[in-house]
Structure formats: C-alpha cells, structure tokens
Amino acid sequence: MARPYWSGQITISLVSFSVKLFVATESKGEIHFHQISRKTGERVKYQKITASAQEAQQAAPDADTPAAAVVEKDEIVKGYEYEKGRYVTIEPKELADLRVPSKHTMEVSQFVDAADIDPEYFEKPYFVVPENDTQTQAYTVVRQALADTKKVALTKVAFGGREHVVALTPAADGGMMAYTMRYAEELRDPKEYFRDIKQVEVDEDSLDLAKQLIKRKAAKFAPDKFVDGYEVALKELVQAKVEHAPIPHDEAPAPQRTKGISLMDALRKSIGSEEAPAAEEQKPETSTPKKPAPKGITLIKSESAAAKPAKTAKRKSA
C-alpha cells in the first residue's frame, strides 16, 4: 500500500477517530515527453541562476564572461514581493509551523444532502482509512450513519500549501471517501456564459422523442469501457516513428447529412437507428496484426480503431 498523503483526526462534536488519507487517482499514461534540441537531438535541461546573472548574460551575450553559478536547491527559499524588487523570505520551517488547526484535525462543521452539492465543486478524491483497528468502530458507525441518512459531512483540511473544503462520503466498498472541493470564488459566474442563450419554447413532441432516445441509450455506468483515445493515438504515432512506418494523420470527419432535416425528423431517425440490429458488432475483427510496440509502451486498441490497421488509422495530431 502507498504511503498516506495525510494523517490526522476526524471530529464530530465530541466524537473523534484517527484516519489516513490516500490519493485515490494515479496517472496511467505511458507516453512521457522530454524537451529535445531539434538541431542536436540532445535533451534540454534547465538550471536555476540568479536574475542578475541572467540579465548580465542577456546584456552581453557575446562577452567572454564565466558561466553563471547555478543556485543549489537547498539555497532556494520562497519569497513574497511586497514592493517592486523587494522581497520578504519565508523559510520552510516557518511554513511548517503555521498555526492552522486543520493540518491535524478535520472538524466536521455540517451535514448536507448529497444532491445539494453541484458536481463542479468536487475536485480530487481520496480514500479515507482508519488509522488502526481501535479506530474502526467509530469510523464504521459514522460511515453507516452517512449512508443511512444520505448525507455528506463537510469539513476542512490543510495540505499542499492551502486549506481545502472537504466532503466526506460513504464508499460503496465499505469505506469512506474524501473529496477536496473548490471554493465558490474559484468558480466563474455561469450567468456570464448562459445569459445570451436564446429562450425558445420546448415542443412537447420533440421532447418526448428526445426522452425516448435517452431511454434507448441508457445503460449502467461502466468506467472501464472508456479509453483515452488521445493516449492511443500517441502510442500509434510513436510506434510508427520508431519503425519508420507511415505516420497516421488526422482527417476531417465526414459531414453529416442533416442539412434541411428538421429536429423532429432527426430525432425519429436517431431512434430508428438505435432500434436497428447492430450487425456490424457481430462481425469478427479483421484488423491487420500490428508489430510489437516499442519498449515500455503497451498499445491499447480503442473502440474506434478496432477495425483499422495502425498505418491507416486517422487520429488527431498531438
């Protein structure tokens, strides 16, 4: 198991129990780029130097002056510019000693209905785990109470250089989740974007057809069926370059023949296409076998590329 990202207590009035937070997400991308010199093919690296040394080099680029000394990591501290060119420095220990109670304790301030929180407020998920077996009883009681009442506990926690609003919820697998949330001031006013949308009257027949279309395409959420098509296209591009094969190119999608078709007709045809048997899906795959991927890369076949050879697949360029 990974190391916990945060350890501390959850308190609800006089009830408290110790927990550990683990980051619930991880990057699965296999393509990682470096910055390369187009002329030499070498990796480009950056070194940290003082602003005065950089200005001196820029002022006299052809002068025979020694290279600026690199500032080592342990010599760098944070600084706040309170006047032009004047800074107050902050040492790491001073940041660690900031008096913020939520660094150690998540104190629940209120409980709200889950439906009352708009999705745009949620930011990043964490697994919440009891610190040890002695904390499990209180942890389990609170988790079950949240599940039975369909409530979300709101609290705050300080890590990563700021204090976050946090929503605590019961998880389907018997545990609890913590979601860091955005502050209201971080969200743009939706009225600025929606106010110019023309108000139109909804036709009941069109609405009924739209509901039928939604019903026909409704399914249980299966997140494992979704694949990052951009990552797939990158792998195909890298593989083609390594093997000196034809490079896949993007092409504009074929225009849909909807010009002159009314909304009602489009909805009716959409429902009809959903009712038609998907004979294509029953045919065996006839894709051309691909060569092994370059070392360190595992090619993933996307649904849209399943019936196309790699060299003819059309992808959006990086």
* Residue 315: per-residue pLDDT: 42
Rounded Cα–Cα distance for residues 124 and 271 (Å): 37
* Residue 301: per-residue pLDDT: 46
Rounded Cα–Cα distance for residues 19 and 115 (Å): 26
Question: What is the rounded average pLDDT of the residues 88-104?
Answer: 91
What pLDDT band is residue 291 in, cutting at 50, 70 and 90?
A: low
pLDDT tens across 253-281, in order?
777 665 667 888 888 888 887 665 544 44
Burial 81-103 (b: 16+ CB within 10 A, else e): eeeeeeeeeeeeeeeeeeeeebe
What DSSP assignment string belongs to 179-215? EEE--GGGS--THHHHTTSPP-PPPHHHHHHHHHHHH
**Over the chain, what is the mean pLDDT?**
83
Q: 233, 316 in Cβ contact below 8 A?
A: yes
What pLDDT band is residue 310 in, cutting at 50, 70 and 90?
A: very low
Residue 161 has pLDDT above 80, yes or no: yes
What DSSP assignment string belongs to 53-92? HHHHHHH-TTS--PPPPPPPGGG--EEEEEETTEEEEE-H
Written as one letter, the residue type at 243 is E
pLDDT tens across 213-240, in order?
999 889 998 888 988 888 888 888 998 9
* Residue 56: per-residue pLDDT: 76
* Residue 296: per-residue pLDDT: 54
* Lowest-pLDDT range of 44-53, 157-166, 186-195: 44-53
Residue 6 has pLDDT above 70, yes or no: yes
Distances in whole angstroms, Cα of residue 244 to Cα of each of 26, 32, 86, 172, 248: 32, 20, 54, 48, 12
Q: Where is pLDDT greater, at 273 or 247?
A: 247
Rounded Cα–Cα distance for residues 62 and 53 (Å): 14
Q: Where is pLDDT greater, at 205 or 298?
A: 205
What pLDDT band is residue 50 in, cutting at 50, 70 and 90?
A: confident
Instruction: Of 33, 1, 64, give the one whose Cα is nearest residue 237.
Output: 33
Residue-range domains of the chain with CATH: 6-27+98-184 (2.40.290.10), 227-252+288-318 (no CATH)
> Residue 80 phi/psi, 5° resolution?
-110, 125
Written as one letter, the residue type at 223 is P
* Residue 314: per-residue pLDDT: 41
* Residue 113: per-residue pLDDT: 95
Question: What is the rounded average pLDDT of the residues 303-310?
Answer: 40
* Residue 303: per-residue pLDDT: 42
pLDDT tens across 7-39, in order?
999 999 999 999 999 999 988 777 888 889 899
* Residue 55: per-residue pLDDT: 78
Three-state secondary structure readout of 215-276: HHHCCCCCHHHCCCHHHHHHHHHHHHHHCCCCCCCCCCCCCCCCCCCCHHHHHHHHHHHHHC
* Residue 294: per-residue pLDDT: 54
* Residue 18: per-residue pLDDT: 97
Rounded Cα–Cα distance for residues 164 and 182 (Å): 8
